[in-house]
Structure 1
Amino acid sequence: MVLPVETVEKSLLSGRWNSQLGPETHPVLQLAKATVDGDFRTVLTSKYAKELFQIKNTQEVSVDQQPYAELFLWKLQSVDDEQERELVQLLLAVACLHTFVQVNWTGPNLEFKLSDIISFPSHHPPPISEETLCVKAIAELAYGGEPAYHLAQFPVLFRFAQVILGFPYVHCKYTPWWQLRAAIIHERLLDDPVPLPAEVLGSLAPLVETTNSDPDLAGQLLLEQGLLEHIFSHDKAAAELFVRAARATGLQYELTGALGKRTKFQQNDLSQLVLLAESRNTDNSPDKKKPANQVRSTNGVTTSRQVRLPETLPLNDDTLLEQTEFTSTATATGKAALNHLDPASQPPLHPLDQCILLSLCLNVRNTSPSHGLTSEQMSPYVARVISHPQNWSIHTMALLLRSRLEASRTRTVERSTLQLQALVDQMPTADSELSERLLYFHSIPLPSKWEMERELALRFLSIGVIKSALEIFERLEMWEEVVKCWQSMERNDKALAIVRDLLEGRKEEAESVIAKAKDLSASRRVSMDIAREAKLWCLLGDLEPDNAVEHYEHAWKLSMETSGRAMRSLGGYYFSRGKFADAVTCLRRAVAINPLIAHSWFVLGCAYMRLEDWEGGRDAFSRCVAIDDEDAESWNNLATMYLRLDAAKKSPYDRGIDKDGDRSDKAVTFSNKMLAFRALKRGLKHSYDNWRMWSNYMIVAVDVGELSEACRALTRIVEERADKVGAECVDDEVLERLVDAVTRQDDDPDRPTAGDKQGTVPDAVPNEGRGLLRRVVDLFERTILPRVSSSRIFRTYARLLTWQLRWEDALNAHLNAYRWGPAGTFERGETDVEKWREAVDEVGEIEDILANFGPRVEGFDWKHQGRSILRTFIGRSKDFEDEPEWSRLTEMLDWLRSEE
């Protein structure tokens, strides 16, 4: 019999047995059916498992030194056909992987032991205990310098899955997908995510083409790839994959508004956010998507089955409604196909589409600013999924997300905590079928049992229930959180005692207690926990600053130079004490071990800045923004690095920004200025209120000729700072350059006339002449002058008005400049002769302006205005009659009188 390998593989991926495979007469198909149905005891105790998971003769191998790949036989002696052998291997790998998921993520608890799976040589008694194999597995699961969670149950099964999936496969073409799933689970086991081997993602490319004919599989693959990017905080890449997944499955959705009520006593309907969503219509399609509570029998008839779901706790609030009551239809502005949906009665979504919506909801959280709108945007996504529960795992994830949203609201915080407690309590129960729980597990970021409990403890901590939080952390043996709890209670002595007791053996972890009861060598007992022991030494360094260097270095040596935590801590220690060269050395080691931690790159970049290593700083901050595209400070620092790279020559025309945000007179190439300009532009998207970044952006924009953007930047700076510092917020030099750019086109015959105040003549060049005029006029008249005043600002404004032939406005601007200048503010009794002489020059200047502009303004008596200005100034400066410049004032006054 030729096995339908591809059909079996698709059944494994989708979690549903394909009825087209017919009666399971072949033993391999029976094994495949048991795997899909979640009957893992049958699969893992089969003859195939006994052959594959047989330990070698322990007289020939060393248990302490041999990895799992060499400790077992890994041979299917009863299978001769290569295709059949590959399929059996894949089935066993999936069974091991999902059994590990069952016991650590979805529940319920297992009904068999590890000894039921592993077989030993018949002529030797079992020489290795289950606990020993688990300890060994945890040690091997440490990756990239990050330890795996040591209380994860049955880690041996996950190691089995990893080893089997690492075998070469020729006939099972969907194996790379299972490698991706195993990699995601491995990432969730580690304290911090670490980069995956390039071959894991590279091997998925052929599958994208293969799954195009199946909308559900294509959407599922894209969704899982997006969840991996989400783990690495690559939010932009994750968002693109989530949208592509929705497009692949045919999901239509739009966030819009509709009138409704949110509270019990609300009288008037107000606009409420609502998510309109609809799965694709496939009534006549052979691949019609069925809800999770419907199954297709072998004769093609669809039947329903009861799905037991997690408990959804009611709100029980005296004001808020359980859910928004919509009283009008919503208008789908972007998707006409959704106009027919009633917000109060939308059709059920396919569970896979619900997974996509929850993932999109995660992206809303990650790509929105940190303000109230974040939860407001997320709530409609979660509500749309909760309104039609169809799958145990999906509903659990939706309730968890709602619990997180409600944790910060006074009226919902109680339900938030109780709901999270209920979700934790349901894990070990058997209230739903295992196959149901696993069906969409890989399509949602469902936390593990310990992560769920950790979240509950953090929730207790946030509301001040420190004792309950401490009990959970101690039971989970999360010592870093235990230390933080004691520190929050200002009991550093207790935190220090716990860490020292653990390191000195007076207080032992559960795994160490188990291991010491076994026949293990002393070297094995030391080496099996080096990743966690190194982390404990780092914690001790955090608690004892005086001996921090010694503790961090000991952790580094103990881990055989694999502990990224040790180097991150030591690098931060050196940086805070000004030892930047040492900090660079440590942090370079840290990022080499785990390059996904943006903070390490940021501190490294700052250390390079202090050492004036601009290329090193550029590379470090480039990695920061590659990891977190919304890190505005890193974008700003990256721009600074570009402006410093060519700091060799000096030029009066080239200005940059130094590391403190001040201007620099060192020459910078135009290409690096453009790179700095683009970096600042990206950063300002995520730090719109940061006036320092706007100032840097303005300076660079002027240097690269982007004067329209410089005008926009100066507008933002004045809006942010005018109330605090007044006229100091205006960069007079930049303002004058903007006016220069407008007025340099004096010979243009089509330049605006006196009546064309806003520059309505079209111009294709936005950074000079008429193309820039409107922005500069708005900058003066709508932003600067209503807020601040200074003599230089008015003079610059007058020059712009003169170019526009607006003589009256220009004259008024010059008069305002005079009033704000030395002459206009000169007071009687002043004794500073230099200030008086400067004021005399200004009086002469305003008299010349009156003589030139006055005759152009109809109905304006410029001579009277000039005499008034002179008399007022002369009256205030009688004390300077003996100065030579006094005669200049009297001559101007005589000239004005003679003109009458």
Structure 2
Amino acid sequence: MSYLRPLILSESPAEGSGNTIADLIINGKLPEAHKALSDATDSPETDLLKAAALIQSFIQVNFTGPQIDGLIPENTSGYTQKDLSASNEPANVLTKAAHLLVEALKLLRALVEKQEGELQSYSQWWLTRALVIQQSLLFADASEIHDSLTELFPKFKKLVESDSELATRYYLEKARSELMYDYDSKAEQDLKLGQNASGLLLSLTGFMAKRTKFQTVEHPVLLLLAKSRKEITASGEEIQLPEALPLNSDLFLEKPLYSAMEGEKDPDSPFYRKIDPGLQDIDPNAQPPLRDIDSALLMLREQYIRQCQATDAPFVKEELSAYVQRLIYAPSCSVNWLLFSRALWERSVLESDSPKTVERGILQMQALVDELGHSAMTYIPRLEEADKAEEEKLASPASRLRYVHQAMPLPSWSMDALLAEKYLSIGSLKTALGLYERLQMWAEMAMCLAAVDKQEEGIAILQKHLDENPDDARGWSVMGDITLKPEYWEKAWKLGKYAPSKRSLGQWFYMPPKGVERNLDLAIKHFNESLHVNPLHLNTWFLYGCCGLETEQYELAAEAFTRCVSLDETDPKAWSNLSTSLLRLGKKTEAFNALKKSTRAASENSDWRIWANYVTVAIELEEWNEVLRGTKNIIAIMGEKEGEKAIDVPVVEALVSILVTTEFPRAVDGPDGEEIAPRLSFFQKECIDLTCNLIPKLLTSNARLWKAIAKVEIWRKRPWAALECFEKGFRVYTHSPTVQEHEKVFADAVEFLGELCEAYENFGEMEGRNGGEVCPDWKYKCKSAVRVLVGRGKNYWEETKAWEDLMTLKENLPK
């Protein structure tokens, strides 16, 4: 019976025993497999191979892809999805080629009942595989499948007693079935036995690492060290794997850059790493390739962690990420297609929940669904003439199926449903609509239809569903969301205390439609009742807090926004509103601390209003370093779009006034007699950068700012630069038509001219930048400047006081 082993063990296409149905299926030669199924002789051995072939074909059609329509046995028996139901639990209506699995189950049950010995044991093993696949098609656990699996696994355990390779697969598949029924402790035990049989060395530990491109200080992160029992190297042959999309981030590295902790190998060091000696010498940035069965074990352990712990906890996310990254960052072409794609999928699920990585996460999910060949929606339509070339690049069915029984079943529709949910979460409603329609998820479809102006169609679909399921609280709430009729939300609340219905009622009174009176007290009441049922809904806390601010219930608002930031520390608006609430309560220091948190989050979201609030409070607290920091950030955010409008002139003038009251540091002589440049304080350095580097790049029509910059240059003992600033400020007036249109502008120009002439007189004879005088012909330039303004103001302002001041200035010019 050696030819049966490749059905379970096959590590590579080269393994097997000649031209058997097992080898044909594993190697992906589907036309030959189809022919073998049709022409197979009637014998127990052939029936087992045929059952295995049917199972693999069913899995390819519904789980791994690519589609093989026309290459599988026709459904002559008339089997449908109903024949796959168990314990009155129906199979998903989207199940394709149901007859393949039904016929395989019939063959295997007959073999288990009639045969004995090794053939019976292998039949039992394949029957457990078929039953696990059947369970994955159902909406809930089926007791009859559960009982069958519990009974079957011990019966063929004798196959693995003296074979570590078989033992590894046995324990992994047993753990997989236990995870399906939430037997976490049993699954943990079998995973440990599988690891012992495999010999995999494994340790989840901490390493210092950099995660961003500009990070200078390393921080500890979780890392999974893993090494197979046997030393293996990548074969070098080209293996088609799903494309791992790049992160394309200006901030984050594609993968963490690890460095070893000092003293990790010294037992007397506090950093000593207590791990298996076989893992001590592993380079965390280039871990060795793993055997594929060991990669399958890691993915099952990741699934175990996901089921046992709260996946929204940061530490758990870090742990899950460590497991999937061990496969994704393995040496090129050293991981099986199915296992690599599953790792990419799990990483995408984690990343799609973070605003920093959501784009890569969702696009990666779509790419994986597309490669399976199942999805009705593709993110990027392919050109028809390129389809064949694209298909040739796809991984072979053999690589997709080789470890499918050691991984958690993931039907194509479950992937589509999660993808639709992610698309809906980012606002891609039409894409989600197409997916929900295909998946027959009526409530979600109705919401999507309403969002794309097909409300009546969505209502009709949902009403039909509610007629058949009148106790569906969620359905009634969705009906209220579509029709905007509060009675539906009230009904949903009465039926099942459905929190979203109260959220909708709160929003109804907070932002009512036309013709409905706004009632913040009722909005607060409904939000409060909703939060008693589900206190983890961030948006409800935010609106609840907004109601508190608008009704001047600042204690309520402070509590609400405190809950917001506890749920999401990266929400800058919540931090900013918390600061506002605390300010109204007279807690300025606490408010400023909240604004600091807000600005840390806002640095990535580029919200200038938060920085403006930050500057305002910092001025009140006389935190001038923070005023300076906030002003620079506002300019960085708005400068390119708004130009000099992004500059708060009074704030800059206040900063300059503080700067020039400090003493400019002098250069000192070094030990070798060389002059050492003066050391500026942080405030001095940053204020010079703001006024002399950032602001001049934006200035076009604001003479006040040129005057402020000139003050800084005078303080820096750079008279030539100060004089240039005065000249540029005066040109703002002479080049502007408003000097002839508004008396106030002309008066300001005369005043600025007086300061310019004074600057010529004070700085003209000083030493210039490169020696000599700053402006040897300063008297001539004074007269020229006066003549220019006289020419601009004549015939416009000759009867005004500003004209008299200009004439006085002209008469008092130095001869």
Q: What range is the shorter-chain TM-score in?
A: 0.5 to 0.7
SS, match of residue 152 in structure 1 = coil
Contact 1:850 1:862 (C-alpha < 8 Å) held by counterparts: yes
Q: Where in structure 2 are the equivalents of 1:32-111 lying within 5 Å?
A: none
One-letter amino acid of the structure 1 residue matched with residue 495 of structure 2: L
Tell me whether 1:501 sits opposite 2:464 in the alignment.
Answer: yes
TM-score (normalizing by structure 1):
0.49
**CA deviation digits over 1:241-290, x for unaligned, max 9?**
xxxxx996347797999xxxxxxxxxxxxxxxxx9987367xxxxxxx97
Deviation at 1:736, TM superposition (A): 1.6
Correspondence for 2:720: 808
Tell me whether 1:408 sits opposite 2:363 in the alignment.
Answer: yes
Q: Where in structure 2 are the equivalents of 1:128-527 lying within 5 Å?
A: 151-154=139-142, 249-250=204-205, 279=225, 334-335=259-260, 346-348=289-291, 382=328, 384=330, 396=342, 398=344, 408=363, 412=367, 415-418=370-373, 451-452=414-415, 454-455=417-418, 469-470=435-436, 473-474=439-440, 478-484=441-447, 486-487=449-450, 490-504=453-467, 507-508=468-469
Distance in 2, Cα, partners of 1:864 & 1:712: 42
Correspondence for 2:124: none
**CA deviation digits over 1:723-745, x for unaligned, max 9?**
43332110112212222222222
Deviation at 1:497, TM superposition (A): 2.5
SS, match of residue 733 in structure 1 = helix
Distance in 1, Cα, partners of 2:682 & 2:229: 59
Correspondence for 1:718: 635
Deviation at 1:855, TM superposition (A): 3.6
Distance in 2, Cα, partners of 1:831 & 1:251: 70
Give the aligned CA root-mean-square deviation in angstroms.
5.9
Q: Which moved more, 1:774-783 or 1:637-646?
A: 637-646
Correspondence for 2:503: 568
Contact 2:628 2:686 (C-alpha < 8 Å) held by counterparts: yes
Deviation at 1:394, TM superposition (A): 9.5
Tell me whether 1:543 sits opposite 2:486 in the alignment.
Answer: no
Distance in 1, Cα, partners of 2:744 & 2:429: 66
Distance in 1, Cα, partners of 2:649 & 2:566: 36
Correspondence for 1:584: 524
* Selected match of 2:750 from 820, 823, 840: 840
* Selected match of 1:787 from 684, 689, 698: 698
One-letter amino acid of the structure 2 residue matched with residue 788 of structure 1: L
**CA deviation digits over 1:727-772, x for unaligned, max 9?**
21101122122222222224x7x4579xxxx995446xxxxxx331
Deviation at 1:862, TM superposition (A): 2.3
Deviation at 1:807, TM superposition (A): 1.8
Deviation at 1:808, TM superposition (A): 1.9
**Structure 1 residues 481 and 670: CA distance shift in structure 2, 3 A:** closer
Correspondence for 1:702: 619
**CA deviation digits over 1:531-587, x for unaligned, max 9?**
xx2222212212222xx211212222233xx22122111112222213222111101
Deviation at 1:627, TM superposition (A): 1.3
Correspondence for 2:19: none
Correspondence for 2:473: 534
Contact 1:314 1:415 (C-alpha < 8 Å) held by counterparts: no
Deviation at 1:402, TM superposition (A): 6.9
**Structure 1 residues 402 and 862: CA distance shift in structure 2, 3 A:** closer
Distance in 2, Cα, partners of 1:395 & 1:889: 79
Correspondence for 1:819: 731
Deviation at 1:859, TM superposition (A): 4.7
Contact 1:568 1:586 (C-alpha < 8 Å) held by counterparts: yes
Contact 1:276 1:338 (C-alpha < 8 Å) held by counterparts: no
**Structure 1 residues 760 and 676: CA distance shift in structure 2, 3 A:** farther
**Structure 1 residues 832 and 683: CA distance shift in structure 2, 3 A:** closer
Deviation at 1:344, TM superposition (A): 10
Q: Where in structure 2 are the equivalents of 1:559-708 lying within 5 Å?
A: 559=496, 562-577=497-512, 578-646=518-586, 669-687=587-605, 689-708=606-625
Tell me whether 1:556 sits opposite 2:519 in the alignment.
Answer: no
**Structure 1 residues 791 and 493: CA distance shift in structure 2, 3 A:** same
Q: Which moved more, 1:719-728 or 1:592-601?
A: 719-728
**Structure 1 residues 704 and 812: CA distance shift in structure 2, 3 A:** same
Deviation at 1:882, TM superposition (A): 4.7
Contact 2:416 2:435 (C-alpha < 8 Å) held by counterparts: no
One-letter amino acid of the structure 2 residue matched with residue 684 of structure 1: A
SS, match of residue 279 in structure 1 = strand
Q: How many residues align?
A: 543
Correspondence for 1:732: 649
Distance in 1, Cα, partners of 2:202 & 2:343: 22
SS, match of residue 249 in structure 1 = strand
Contact 1:815 1:846 (C-alpha < 8 Å) held by counterparts: yes
- Structure 2 residue runs of 5 or longer lacking an equivalent are 1-86, 93-100, 106-137, 147-175, 196-200, 213-220, 232-238, 247-254, 262-279, 315-320, 353-359, 377-396, 513-517, 669-674, 768-772
One-letter amino acid of the structure 1 residue matched with residue 647 of structure 2: V
Distance in 2, Cα, partners of 1:876 & 1:726: 27
Distance in 2, Cα, partners of 1:452 & 1:827: 65
**Structure 1 residues 432 and 278: CA distance shift in structure 2, 3 A:** closer
One-letter amino acid of the structure 2 residue matched with residue 346 of structure 1: P
Q: Which has the higher contact order (CA 8 A, sep 6+)?
A: 1
- The percent of aligned pairs where both chains have the same amino acid is 21
**Structure 1 residues 619 and 448: CA distance shift in structure 2, 3 A:** farther
Contact 1:252 1:338 (C-alpha < 8 Å) held by counterparts: no
TM-score (normalizing by structure 2):
0.54
One-letter amino acid of the structure 2 residue matched with residue 867 of structure 1: K
**CA deviation digits over 1:627-683, x for unaligned, max 9?**
12222332232233233333xxxxxxxxxxxxxxxxxxxxxx431342233232332
SS, match of residue 785 in structure 1 = helix
Correspondence for 1:166: none
**CA deviation digits over 1:226-255, x for unaligned, max 9?**
xxxxxxxxxxxxxxxxxxxx9963477979
Deviation at 1:351, TM superposition (A): 6.1
Distance in 2, Cα, partners of 1:253 & 1:554: 54
Distance in 1, Cα, partners of 2:553 & 2:596: 21
**CA deviation digits over 1:18-70, x for unaligned, max 9?**
xxxxxxxxxxxxxxxxxxxxxxxxxxxxxxxxxxxxxxxxxxxxxxxxxxxxx
One-letter amino acid of the structure 1 residue matched with residue 459 of structure 2: L
Q: Where in structure 2 are the equivalents of 1:115-130 lying within 5 Å?
A: none
* Selected match of 2:759 from 849, 866, 876: 849
One-letter amino acid of the structure 2 residue matched with residue 152 of structure 1: A
One-letter amino acid of the structure 2 residue matched with residue 542 of structure 1: D
**CA deviation digits over 1:462-496, x for unaligned, max 9?**
7978897456543xxx4322313544675433322
**CA deviation digits over 1:822-861, x for unaligned, max 9?**
x674678x36555444433333333333333334352523
SS, match of residue 856 in structure 1 = coil
SS, match of residue 863 in structure 1 = helix
Correspondence for 1:870: 786
SS, match of residue 645 in structure 2 = helix
Distance in 2, Cα, partners of 1:684 & 1:741: 27
**Structure 1 residues 540 and 842: CA distance shift in structure 2, 3 A:** same
Distance in 2, Cα, partners of 1:854 & 1:100: 98
**Structure 1 residues 682 and 815: CA distance shift in structure 2, 3 A:** same
Contact 1:457 1:470 (C-alpha < 8 Å) held by counterparts: yes
**CA deviation digits over 1:169-200, x for unaligned, max 9?**
xxxxxxxxxxxx9xx999x9xxxxxxxxxxxx
Distance in 2, Cα, partners of 1:420 & 1:604: 40
Distance in 2, Cα, partners of 1:722 & 1:893: 39
Contact 1:708 1:772 (C-alpha < 8 Å) held by counterparts: yes
Contact 1:631 1:686 (C-alpha < 8 Å) held by counterparts: no
Contact 1:604 1:620 (C-alpha < 8 Å) held by counterparts: yes
